[in-house]
Structure 1
Amino acid sequence: MPKARKAQISLEDTPYYHCVSRCVRRAYLCGQDKLTGISYEHRRQWVQDRIHFLSQTFAIDVCAYAVMSNHTHLVLHIHKALSDSWDTEEVIHRWHRLHKGTLLSHQFLNPVQRQHMPESQMATLEETIEVWRQRLTDISWFMRSLNEYIAREANREDECTGRFWEGRFKSQALLDEAALAACMAYVDLNPIRAGIAKTPEQSDHTSIQYRINAARAGKTPQYLTPFVGSHNDDRPHGLPFQLADYLALVDITGRAIAPDKRGAIDGSVPAMLQRINITPMQWQELTTQFEDCFHHAAGSESYLEAYRHRHKLKRLRDINSAIKLLG
């Protein structure tokens, strides 16, 4: 029996999650339909723009993404401390970017009307604000705001109605740094594995291309979680790796797994693999078969055992993959 969504996403386990949504219709989300010859490539920009917009609205960071022809991949980080820091006005402004809000929320934003709001209305509004704050920290609401928007736009363009996605998105908990790094690389390398790009910088509508372009311009990607190295640094919020190490590792991995090549990562073990204690052979399998190796959660054996005990599961079929690839 499938696990309830609230059981799949829990800050007690990890703030990092890999989310996948797949298109249900024969018509493509993006790409070109070979039967009709119609191109849907422009929809990739719809998805990318929406992801960037939501990253600035929710208290959820986007670590990686890839917009493919009939599905999307995202690696997300729940930034609860950020939502806790928002005052009432900030929560309202963010929620109003997505929804109309209520009469009380609009009155509150008007300084004159706010002065005349009785305590009973303020108490009602505060209850509503806490609901909105929780939703703006909820991956399910993030994915809903992404997928419903794209479905409406695609249905309007196709002049049809009905379901556009296979159902609710699939999610995987990323329990440790090694699982996080491998999953991010797996997502960033999707176009190369699919044979639609030869290098990371040519992988359109992916986070790796966006990061590379920003790095070339000497900038930090505005819509992505920054790399900060160790969490012990002065900047504790961000990905626990060095950007240069990650870009170099993805580049090397992309050359090894390109469809027209059958190679492996040669030479000395890249610095980042040493950092997360994974061999090149393990890394190569993780970045090509991550979704096959892990299902509900990914991490080393000890993290998966803790996850199993917390959720009172009799067993986890991913334990063998953890021992083999993240031991």
Structure 2
Amino acid sequence: MAHNRVKESCSDQAVYYLVTNRIAGGRMLFKDVEKYKLKELLFAGCAKLSYQVIDYVFMDNHFHLLIKIPPTSSMDDVELLNRYRLHKQNDEITFINSAQKDDFRDQIHDISFIIGNFEQRFVQWFNKEKNSWGRLFGQRFDSEMIEVSPQSDSLLRVMAYISLNPVRAGIVTDPKDFFFCGYADRLAGGSVGESDQDFFDLFCHGIEA
């Protein structure tokens, strides 16, 4: 599936992105401990920035994320300040002026800032754990905006594409048995929220890998 980096204004409507990145040289560096950390950082960022994780999968040398960014207009000033303080890790800090407030609002609704922050935090942790340095990912992440409408099944197809990664890789025969994906997470009532199991069974098994 080809991915093109796209930036879209989300002031009045939610925007969905399929995000992908790979380890430099195709090295298989994401073991279970790294995948746990990726998941931890991904969901921790939801409270500090402005996005929702709709789906994800962490493989040994790459990841796919389906990210929803809500409209910028949906966040009031009180919530914005709370997230600013969480992001800065300072309960007393406040915005200097309205321009700084507007800049931060735009930042936390921007896919480049969101994923850049996520990857930077992970690389810092990884390099510290492994006593290494330098680039981990082969290139800047790719993102593709996904059409979401009653007339399109694009969102479901993307979710199936993500969920079926471990099936295509021959790791499992059913994505519910792969711990590091949103499909299994949902069935277990985990971080991606509650959803109807029959619905996800239908589209995951109804679309070919």
**Smaller-chain TM-score range?**
0.7 to 0.9
Structure 1 counterpart of 2:177, from 187, 199, 202:
202
Report what 1:157 is aligned to: 129
Over 3 Å counting, the alpha-carbon distance change for 1:125 and 1:47 in structure 2 is same
Q: What TM-score comes out, normalization by structure 2 length?
A: 0.84
CA distance in 2, matches of 1:4, 1:208: 24
Q: Which amino acid aligns with 1:168?
A: R
Q: Does 1:244 align with 2:204?
A: no
Whole-Å Cα distance in 1 between the matches of residues 63 and 131 of structure 2? 23
- Distance, in Å, in 1 between the alignment partners of 2:187 and 2:45 is 21
Which residue number corresponds to residue 92 of structure 1? Answer: 81
TM-score of the pair, normalised by structure 1: 0.55
Contact 2:4 2:143 in 1 (8 A): no
Are the aligned partners of 1:192 and 1:199 in contact in 2 as well (CA < 8 Å)? Answer: yes
Percent identity, please.
20
Equivalent residue for 1:76?
67
The alignment partner of 1:56 has SS state of helix
CA contact (8 A) 1:14 1:174 kept: no
Partner of 1:185: 160
Structure-2 separation of matches of 1:106 and 1:180: 40
Of 51, 58, 61, the match for 1:60: 51
Which residue does 1:9 correspond to in 2?
7
What does residue 311 of structure 1 align with? none
Given residue 87 of structure 2, which amino acid in structure 1 is its aligned partner?
L
Alignment root-mean-square deviation, CA: 2.7
Structure scoring higher RCO (CA < 8 A, sep ≥ 6) equals: 2
2:18 corresponding residue in structure 1: 18
Q: Which amino acid aligns with 1:127?
A: A
Return the structure number with greater strand share.
2
- Listed as ranges, the matches of 1:1-327 within 5 Å are 5=5, 8-11=6-9, 15-24=15-24, 27-31=27-31, 41-80=32-71, 83-99=72-88, 106-108=92-94, 124-176=96-148, 177-214=152-189, 221=190, 223-224=191-192, 244-250=198-204, 252-253=205-206, 283-284=207-208, 288=209
Q: Deviations over 1:194-253 (max 9, x none)?
A: 111222221111100110111xxxxxx5x43665xxxxxxxxxxxxxx652222331x25
Answer yes or no: is the 8 Å Cα contact 2:183–2:200 preserved in 1: no
Would the aligned equivalents of 1:19 and 1:75 in 2 still touch at CA under 8 Å? yes
- Any idea what SS the aligned residue of 1:66 has? strand
8 Å contact 1:29–1:71 — kept in the other structure? Answer: no
Per the alignment, residue 320 of structure 1 pairs with none
Residue type matched to 1:59 in 2? Answer: S
Gaps of 5+ in 2: none
8 A contact 1:14–1:175 mirrored in 2: no
Aligned length: 202
